[in-house]
A and B are shown apart, each in its own frame.
Chain A
Amino acid sequence: MERHMISPDVSGLACVYERPGTLTDTPFHYCPGCGHGVVHRVLMEAVDELGIQEETIGVAPVGCSVFSYNYLNIDMQEAAHGRASAVATAVKRMLPGKYVFSYQGDGDLAAIGTAETIHTANRGENILVLFINNAIYGMTGGQMAPTTLLGMKTTTSPAGRTVETAGFPLKITEMLAMLPGVYYVSRNSVHTPGAVRHLKKAILKSFRYQKENRGTCFIEVVSNCPSGWKMTPLEANRWMEEHMFPLYPPGEIKVPQ
């Protein structure tokens, strides 16, 4: 793909912010305003800072981030839909000295992969599970997800999700936090600089805990889907704060005692 780069004269200027070396030069395919790109970047900034690029193996899901391996400059495996944590389990078991994470969306992790998610956490696998929750199936064109809010319109809940037909939004993060195998649970977002910094801290902590063999670390990122939600990026972020946060409040959910 042709990239149009602006190359200003930067001689004499100090670089204070740059692309982490652990991201490839491939431009993201994500829609404008989507949170995935920011999460990718923050994740790889953490890998960079810890100097663990050579020791980190990622597992990509099926969903919008199916191509995340095009962007993350580390060894990666692309799992079947919902099975990323099972794949990551085996990678970690066979390579216990490496850092392993799975990166999964709400449909992948909380619908088709619910069993794998719960049992990976219940075994306390020493991996990081990154869960991107935007309450919709983005890649397939905006269908209802297990985390879709009541009343929320999607292509498969055109009149809005109702309890009668689709039950309640699944708070899987709170469910997982109950399991003794899970060591650390944090819910984040990436729509403000402060939120991004908090996410990075959570990722750094998770990798540190993984090194110490503490158990499963689970980070939810409540995110947006401007295309699927039919909103501008700004509207989507505002809507996320007003409607998603009351049900999925950001914060530390389970911290080591």
Chain B
Amino acid sequence: MSDLRLMKGNEALAEAAIRAGCQGYFGYPITPQSEILEYLAAEGRARGMIVLQAESEVASINMVYGGAGAGARVMTSSSSPGISLMQEGLSYIACAELPCLVVNVSRGGPGLGTIQPSQGDYFQAVKGGGHGDYRLLVLAPSSVQEMADFVFDAFDLADKYRTPVMILADGALGQMMEKVTFREYNPAEHIVAKPWATTGKPKTRERNIITSLHIEPEMMEQINLRLQEKYRLIAENETRCEHFHTEDAEYLIVAYGLAARIAKGAVETARAQGIKAGLLRPVTLFPYPTAAIRRLAETVRGVLVLEMNAGQMIEDVRLAVEGRVQVRFYGRMGGIIPAPDEVLVALEGMVKEDAAQHEEVY
């Protein structure tokens, strides 16, 4: 069934989880995402989902481990400090290759920080967060519609690659209301066989063991090689980004999530003023759209990275650009959302600087 609704991002995400056939949710209240737990405690339970309010985020993520290991489609959600508490568990889940969804409706940090939206968890989400060589597949929605859509994608990707998938949103996306349409999705057509799950050992097969312990270094290296090969496959097949006026762009903004929405407004205003601006929005943060940015770096005169943090994704942009063109940064921290005007000023500054340099050369 597909229908149009007006919903908060958190609620849309929770509703999508039910429709995606999520069988178990384990979570702990934290602002600004408690609506997910609240919605599922009412709606999810009424529609057959196991919904457990755990004693902590540490317990939640380990319940996700147990539930995923038992072969069920399971998830948790939290916000930045809670996601920090889950990092050990995520590392175990990645190593044991358990499919699951982890949602971070992030807020400003560090520390207890603020409950206002932030993108300060980019490094944590994309570069590992927990110990050891592992990756999360990270999806970054920028609308309530995508808060819902990416849940279906996340569960399917998790099952396809036997890997934890994170939806990295922020408090604004979680709290704001927009119209949302739920896609046609029949979980029965998407649920995959999980012959590795611990469901009780029949006589016909060897026992299944879910573990991240491989004490022999030769074995542990093999596990690592397998994980790295999986991440390479994911990068090859699942990299996603959105192009907005990039075809003829002279100045490129790179931004994801909420920041990308703000950037779109700035791009439109700039174009009305005669500046050929464009936006590239990474939709997957791991795998990162490195090739797309590299291609654009060949043709644009400057790149502006816009983030709601001190400059984290800019490192990946620079790795993609590899010095072909100057990469500048504009960001706000601590739960402040940059206004489109501020972005426009930063963009204009880049254009002026470029023109001045151009004059110097000639």
Question: Which residues of A does B touch, CB under 8 Å?
Answer: 53-57, 59-60, 66-67, 69, 73-80, 83, 86-91, 93-95, 98, 115-116, 118-119
Of B38-46, B65-73, B174-182, the stretch lying at the interface with chain A is B65-73
How near does chain B come to A239, taking the closest CB pair, in angstroms? Answer: 30
Query: Any chain A CB within 8 A of the CB of B222?
Result: no
Contact (Cβ within 8 A) A86 B66: yes
Contact (Cβ within 8 A) B55 A119: yes
Would you list which residues of chain B between 54 and 80 have a CB under 8 Å from chain A?
54-56, 58-59, 62-67, 69-72, 74
Partner of A98, one of B65, B199, B209: B199
How near does chain B come to A170, taking the closest CB pair, in angstroms? Answer: 18
Contact (Cβ within 8 A) B24 A93: yes
How near does chain B come to A104, taking the closest CB pair, in angstroms? Answer: 13
Q: How far is the CA of A236 from the CA of B92 in the complex (A)?
A: 36
How near does chain B come to A73, taking the closest CB pair, in angstroms? Answer: 6
- Chain B residues contacting A90 (CB-CB under 8 Å) are 24, 26, 52, 62-67, 70, 74
Instruction: Indicate whether A54 sits within 8 Å of B202 (C-beta atoms), given known contacts A80-B62, A90-B74, A95-B70.
Output: yes
- Chain A residues contacting B212 (CB-CB under 8 Å) are 78
Q: Binary interface profile of B, 209-227, with partner A (CB < 8 Å = 1, else 0)? A: 1111100000000000000
How near does chain B come to A23, taking the closest CB pair, in angstroms? Answer: 11
Contact (Cβ within 8 A) B70 A69: no
How near does chain B come to A46, taking the closest CB pair, in angstroms? Answer: 16
Contact (Cβ within 8 A) A77 B65: yes
23 A-B pairs with C-beta separation under 8 A = A57-B198, A67-B213, A73-B201, A75-B201, A75-B207, A75-B209, A77-B66, A77-B211, A78-B210, A78-B213, A79-B65, A80-B92, A86-B63, A86-B66, A87-B62, A90-B63, A90-B65, A90-B67, A90-B74, A91-B67, A95-B70, A115-B55, A115-B59
- CB closest residue in chain B, given A93: B50
Query: Any chain A CB within 8 A of the CB of B163?
Result: no
How near does chain B come to A92, taking the closest CB pair, in angstroms? Answer: 8
Partner of A75, one of B54, B66, B199: B199
How near does chain A come to B261, taking the closest CB pair, in angstroms? Answer: 36
Chief secondary structure at chain A's binding surface: helix
Query: Any chain A CB within 8 A of the CB of B186?
Result: no
- Chain A residues contacting B200 (CB-CB under 8 Å) are 54-57, 74-75, 95, 98
How near does chain A come to B101, taking the closest CB pair, in angstroms? Answer: 14
How near does chain A come to B17, taking the closest CB pair, in angstroms? Answer: 15
Question: Which residues of B does A touch, CB under 8 Å?
Answer: 23-24, 26, 50, 52, 54-56, 58-59, 62-67, 69-72, 74, 88-89, 92, 96, 198-203, 207-213
How near does chain A come to B149, taking the closest CB pair, in angstroms? Answer: 26
Contact (Cβ within 8 A) B201 A53: yes
Q: How far is the CA of A232 from the CA of B64 in the complex (A)?
A: 42
The 9 lowest CB-CB distance pairs between A and B, nearest first, are: A90-B66, A87-B66, A78-B211, A75-B198, A83-B62, A90-B67, A90-B63, A119-B55, A94-B72
- CB closest residue in chain A, given B65: A87
Question: A74-B207, A77-B211, A78-B213 known; 5 other A-B pairs, CB under 8 Å?
Answer: A73-B207, A89-B66, A93-B24, A98-B199, A116-B58
- CB closest residue in chain A, given B213: A78
Interface centre among B58, B72, B212 (most CB of A within 10 A): B58
- Chain B residues contacting A66 (CB-CB under 8 Å) are 213
Contact (Cβ within 8 A) A76 B65: no
- Chain B residues contacting A75 (CB-CB under 8 Å) are 198-201, 207-209
Interface centre among A56, A67, A75, A78 (most CB of B within 10 A): A75
How near does chain B come to A128, taking the closest CB pair, in angstroms? Answer: 15
- Chain B residues contacting A93 (CB-CB under 8 Å) are 24, 50, 52, 63, 67
How near does chain B come to A206, taking the closest CB pair, in angstroms? Answer: 18
Contact (Cβ within 8 A) A94 B62: no
- Chain A residues contacting B67 (CB-CB under 8 Å) are 90-91, 93-94
Instruction: Indicate whether A86 sits within 8 Å of B54 (C-beta atoms), given known contacts A77-B66, A94-B67.
Output: yes
Contact (Cβ within 8 A) B199 A95: yes
How near does chain A come to B192, taking the closest CB pair, in angstroms? Answer: 16
How near does chain B come to A200, taking the closest CB pair, in angstroms? Answer: 22
How near does chain A come to B167, taking the closest CB pair, in angstroms? Answer: 20
- Chain B residues contacting A55 (CB-CB under 8 Å) are 200
- Chain A residues contacting B69 (CB-CB under 8 Å) are 77, 87, 91
Contact (Cβ within 8 A) B71 A69: no
Contact (Cβ within 8 A) B92 A94: no
How near does chain A come to B202, taking the closest CB pair, in angstroms? Answer: 5
Q: How far is the CA of A95 from the CA of B203 in the complex (A)?
A: 19
How near does chain B come to A79, taking the closest CB pair, in angstroms? Answer: 7
- Chain B residues contacting A78 (CB-CB under 8 Å) are 96, 209-213
- Chain B residues contacting A116 (CB-CB under 8 Å) are 55, 58-59, 62
Instruction: Indicate whether A74 sits within 8 Å of B201 (C-beta atoms), given known contacts A80-B62, A83-B59, A86-B66.
Output: yes
Interface centre among B23, B64, B198 (most CB of A within 10 A): B198
